[in-house]
Structure 1
Amino acid sequence: MTSATREPETPSSTVPPRLIATDLDGTLLRDDKSLSPRTVAALAAAEDAGIEVFFVTGRPARWMDVVSEHVHGHGLAICGNGAAVVDLHGGAGAHRFVKVRALARENAVDAVHLLRDAAPGTVYAVEQTYGFHQEPAYPELHMEIPDLRAPAEELLAPDGPGAKEPVLKILAFHPELDPDAFLGLARLAVGDRATITRSSPSALLEISGPGVSKASTLALCCAERGISHEEVIAFGDMPNDVEMLTWAGRSYAMGNAHPAAIAAASGRTVANNEDGVAVVIERVLAQRW
């Protein structure tokens, strides 16, 4: 069987799960960005069984409409690769920021300069809690109109646009570099001034505050609930999921996953288009009784 169609490998564990943490794009969502009826039913069944579900994504809060109707209980999601915890109970356009782990503007400016020196031709966008700004040369990657176009240094200035609004992450795009090579180069160039990862098939990097990741914010949310990492099952498919897949007691890389995610996870499941998350949840619930 190919990796996309093989039966899921289920890591053995004697610890009952209390929380499921799942990435969205390429993981829970199908390629058309929909949730299948099977997946919706599996998420509801997990919640009914007393297992909390956290959506943990690189998406900004304003892109969470696709799952806002499927939140249960706490209604929380981790967005921006760990930069924000958002309450989705209000529905589309009415989300509330519960926790923000901002990227300091001085760190962001340092990252811009260091990466521009290391990879000439890099262009940037700035993601804030509500605003989105980009440099004039930054491509239209996100199917949305930026609030402002200006050089990154202007966008990140202390008195720049949205100066009172936290910066969640900056996005760095290079038109020619290999995505993984760009990631490695950026991490070397920027060092500990920021956390750098990627989730796009293109050479698009996501730059957050030092120590900010899906895993570190998920760990904070779990600690608040008295949940240990052994009681967490995580799902993901891209480099921005690696820390979360490593941290969780049980973790699954999708059949369509990046090699880094496969190496980090303790198990495999089938591809996102084959409801790989639902397949594992159904099996886990069946094993509990």
Structure 2
Amino acid sequence: MRDTWRVTSATERPRTPAPRPRPRLIATDLDGTLLRDDKTVSPRTVAALAAAEEAGIEVFFVTGRPARWMEVVSEHVHGHGLAICANGAAVVDLHASGELIHVRDLPRADALEVVRTLRAAVPGATFAVELTTGIHYEPEYPPFFLDPGASIGAAEKLLDPEFADAPVLKLLTHHPEMRPDDFLTLARQAAGGLASFTRSSPTALLEISGRGVSKASTLALCCEQRGIGPEEVVAFGDMPNDIEMLTWAGASYAMGNAHPDALAAASGCTVGNNEDGVAVVIEEILAGV
């Protein structure tokens, strides 16, 4: 049974069930976790990340964002410069302008079957296709204003290799009326055997990766390459797409603003993202508290 605890104030310290050895790696989500709501990284958090790496602790950014949206933290990268993007579908080098180091793609045949299945099971669902080269989406899909060059077309066309033969990182689907968690449950019931389904948006927007691909599974691969076990990892997150990572890590913290399922999955809880919850825990780790 995992011990759980909760922090409700920026001045209140995270409580741990027992002293732990200093971790070798910190894995943190970005939106709703490391980033404040205005998408900035606070000076306190910048200092905490730098201090962790100076103490020999690697820091991995682990996010649902594509590599091209990592400018929010690029200037805060220190020694290693690696990040896990697209919910585990890509490992990127932030020192090399988002160069892809490793890709775990969603096979096109599986993506097409997911589209066909969800069109039948959930009328009104629309789709977007995230390739290694950028995102493209259907006419009714909410537009990505950060990607003005995206092509518009039916998902079946966007998944046709003749349109673009770049690897598919993930498929996204949106529903204009369903509740987000209800949409996730229904989609998993209909097509969960074809791919991995999760969500990180406050709207009914689902993110679909290859079978077995998640933040946790890719983080585990990266840690294995470094000889780091899960018991040597501290993870931070706030949404359902963080659940596997929060469960896998030896110590994990959900943010005070986290989704209830993320809170349930984590072994601890810190204050919210606007109160520098990640920095609060890192400072305690480095102080040996």
TM-score normalized with structure 1 length: 0.94
* Distance apart, 1:52 and its partner CA: 0.1
* Distance apart, 1:11 and its partner CA: 4.5
Moved over 2 A (4+): 2-16, 141-144
Residue 99 (1) aligns with residue 105 (2): no
Q: Does the 8 Å contact 1:253/1:261 carry over to 2? A: yes
- 1:117 pairs, out of 120, 131, 154, with 120
1:116 and 1:192 map into 2 onto residues whose CA distance is 16
Match of 1:196 in 2: 197
Question: What letter matches 1:88 in structure 2?
Answer: L
Q: Does the 8 Å contact 2:90/2:100 carry over to 1? A: yes
**Unaligned runs of at least 5 residues, structure 1:** none
Q: Is the alpha carbon distance of 1:186 and 1:9 closer, same or farther for their aligned partners in structure 2, counting shifts above 3 Å?
A: farther
Question: What letter matches 1:45 in structure 2?
Answer: A
Q: Is the alpha carbon distance of 1:178 and 1:142 closer, same or farther for their aligned partners in structure 2, counting shifts above 3 Å?
A: farther
Q: Is the alpha carbon distance of 1:141 and 1:133 closer, same or farther for their aligned partners in structure 2, counting shifts above 3 Å?
A: closer
* Distance apart, 1:10 and its partner CA: 3.0
Q: Does the 8 Å contact 1:11/1:267 carry over to 2? A: no
Aligned residues: CA RMSD: 1.4
- 1:162 pairs, out of 152, 161, 164, with 164
2:87 and 2:251 map into 1 onto residues whose CA distance is 20
Q: Does the 8 Å contact 1:11/1:250 carry over to 2? A: no
Alignment of 1:12-23 (within 5 A): 12-23=18-29
Q: Is the alpha carbon distance of 1:142 and 1:238 closer, same or farther for their aligned partners in structure 2, counting shifts above 3 Å?
A: farther
SS in 2 for 1:47: helix
* Distance apart, 1:141 and its partner CA: 4.6
1:131 and 1:3 map into 2 onto residues whose CA distance is 39
Residue 253 (1) aligns with residue 259 (2): no
Q: Is the alpha carbon distance of 1:120 and 1:98 closer, same or farther for their aligned partners in structure 2, counting shifts above 3 Å?
A: same
**Unaligned runs of at least 5 residues, structure 2:** 1-5
1:255 and 1:146 map into 2 onto residues whose CA distance is 36
* Distance apart, 1:191 and its partner CA: 2.0
Match of 1:129 in 2: 132
Higher mean C-alpha displacement, 31-40 vs 137-146: 137-146
Q: Does the 8 Å contact 1:194/1:211 carry over to 2? A: yes
SS in 2 for 1:251: strand
1:221 and 1:47 map into 2 onto residues whose CA distance is 17
Match of 1:45 in 2: 51
Match of 1:62 in 2: 68
Alignment of 1:184-263 (within 5 A): 184-263=185-264
Percent pairwise identity:
68
2:17 and 2:159 map into 1 onto residues whose CA distance is 45
Match of 1:265 in 2: 266
Superimposed CA distance per residue, residues 234-283 of structure 1 (whole angstroms, 9 cap, x where no aligned partner):
00000000000000000000000000100000000000000000000000
* Distance apart, 1:74 and its partner CA: 1.6
Higher mean C-alpha displacement, 210-219 vs 123-132: 123-132
Q: Does the 8 Å contact 1:131/1:162 carry over to 2? A: no
Question: What letter matches 1:76 in structure 2?
Answer: L
SS in 2 for 1:148: coil
Superimposed CA distance per residue, residues 210-257 of structure 1 (whole angstroms, 9 cap, x where no aligned partner):
000000000000000000000000000000000000000000000000
1:211 and 1:75 map into 2 onto residues whose CA distance is 25
Match of 2:16 in 1: 10
1:12 and 1:265 map into 2 onto residues whose CA distance is 16
Residue 284 (1) aligns with residue 288 (2): no
Higher mean C-alpha displacement, 202-211 vs 189-198: 189-198
Question: What letter matches 1:162 in structure 2?
Answer: A
1:43 and 1:157 map into 2 onto residues whose CA distance is 42
Superimposed CA distance per residue, residues 116-148 of structure 1 (whole angstroms, 9 cap, x where no aligned partner):
111100000011112210001111255432421
1:252 and 1:140 map into 2 onto residues whose CA distance is 32
Q: Does the 8 Å contact 2:28/2:34 carry over to 1? A: yes
Match of 1:149 in 2: 152
Q: Does the 8 Å contact 1:115/1:189 carry over to 2? A: yes
